[in-house]
Amino acid sequence: MANRREANKSFQKTKRRKLNIVKIVGALLIVTFIVSASINITNKLVKNSTNTFVVRTGNVSKDETVISYIVRKETIIPNEDNNNGMEKIITEGEKVAKGESVYRYYSKSEDENNAKIADLDKQIDEAIKNSTEGLLPSDVRLLNEQIETEVAKINKINSEQNLQESKKRINEYLQKKAKITGDASPSGSHLRELINERKKYQDELVSNSKYITAPESGLLSYRIDGYEEKLNTNDFSVYTKDFLNSLDLKTGQIVPSSDNTGKIVNNFECYLICIINSEEAKNAKLGDEVKIALPSGDEVEADVHYITDEKSDRVITFKIKNGIDELLSYRKLNLDVIWWSAKGYKIPNSAIIQQNNLNYVIRSRNGYLTKVLVKIKKQTDDYSIVTNYSSSEIEELNVDTNAKTSILLYDNILQRPTQQDIDSTK
């Protein structure tokens, strides 16, 4: 009886062990299946994420960087053979009217008179300080503050032209201050005598100076390089490749500023002459509209003004009407010619397939692939701007009946559709 119980006990134990093994094996199979399914799903997700893109709006353009010779209508202001230097009344690049004073030549006694005026200014300041502060007009106290502010700026100025302008403002403040304090001072006082003496030397400076006026209206520039006559707007046919290459000009070099003369530049038009051999240049026609990217990054409209055909190149003259002041410092410069630009649905060229001379993309939606007809507006080496055909255009085309004819914003498109992808749309 005991042996039977032991045998039954052993049997039950063995049965439970086998059952546990079955459970473990089953669990392992389930885990293996789940892991395998997860891997497959992950692979599909990764594949889909890397093989599709979302349709969005964007820009494409065709441009190239070219060396540009800058030609302007320029009028040199006659030099008065002055060796004493000049004071710039109008700053570089400002517009001036015909007859307006643009700068003045210093007189022969300029330095001597300025030294005397500077010495008198110190004496006047000392005399003013010895006056009762409360009795000084409020305008004088304001001028004192303005002079102190302007003097503090001088140490931070790194432009010669800005420095001259700052000194000019200080001199104007001093003159106003002297006049006000002189008017407020009693006749025959020491301060009044100093101010009258200063005025005498100031009047000598003005009367002995030669003021130069603009011979015509336009942009004032002090940058003279000697090419004002050679590079003019009279005849664009003379600007051949050989002629341009013969010019002793360095690309990007700043034209130096003159210290004894200036010129008036036409502010309505400027010309950029370029030697180009690109496909776009070969297809260019007179009157074609393009854009030019200036050094600042601003883009200005331009048109093809003149074309000279040579053996393998074209010399194209572009005319611009804006941004002329930005080019005053240069005679030869690298600029970007933007032949065309387009905006719309931006699609990588790798996503476009051709069938029967028509262009398609493959759209992925809810696991289904659909062939969609697209119309290419503009195309570069890497991207295209596409749109949808109109109903009348579709009627004239031999369109695949399985293809859709409308691409939408935020559609998911295959980046590199395979033949299997294409076949699955049929």
- Read off the pLDDT of residues 149-185 as tens digits, 9 standing for 90 and up: 766 666 665 555 566 676 677 777 776 766 666 665 6
The tokens for 330 are 């240069």
Q: For the chain, what is the radius of gyration of the CA atoms?
A: 41
- Read off the pLDDT of residues 389-410 as tens digits, 9 standing for 90 and up: 998 898 888 787 777 889 999 9
Q: Which domain holds residue 194?
A: 107-208
Q: What is the pLDDT of residue 126?
A: 76
- Residue 307 included in any domain: yes
- Residue 255 included in any domain: yes
- Are 235 and 336 in a shared domain? yes
pLDDT mean over 61-76: 96
**Number of domains, the chain:** 3
Domain boundary among 175, 208, 241: 208
- Read off the pLDDT of residues 9-23 as tens digits, 9 standing for 90 and up: 555 556 566 555 655
- Spell 56-75 as b/e; 16+ CB within 10 A means b: eeeebbbbeebbbbbbbbbe
Q: What is the pLDDT of residue 267?
A: 96
Q: How confident is the model at residue 257 (pLDDT cuts 50, 70, 90)?
A: very high
In CATH, what number is assigned to the domain containing residue 285? Answer: 2.40.30.170
Whether residue 321 is predicted with pLDDT greater than 90 in this model: the reply is: yes
Q: What is the pLDDT of residue 18?
A: 56
pTM for the full predicted model: 0.69
**Residues of the chain above pLDDT 70, percent:** 75
- Residue 341 contacts by C-beta under 8 Å, 6 or more apart in sequence? 59, 60, 61, 62, 291, 378
The tokens for 76 are 């040199």
- Are 329 and 360 in a shared domain? no
- Read off the pLDDT of residues 2-57 as tens digits, 9 standing for 90 and up: 455 555 555 555 656 655 565 565 555 664 555 454 444 444 443 444 589 999 99
d(CA 318, CA 67): 12
- Are 316 and 264 in a shared domain? yes
Q: What is the pLDDT of residue 31?
A: 47
User: C-alpha angle 240/72/98, rounded to 5°?
Assistant: 155
Q: How confident is the model at residue 382 (pLDDT cuts 50, 70, 90)?
A: very high
- Residue 214 included in any domain: no
- Tell me which of 192 and 253 has the higher pLDDT: 253
- Are 262 and 328 in a shared domain? yes
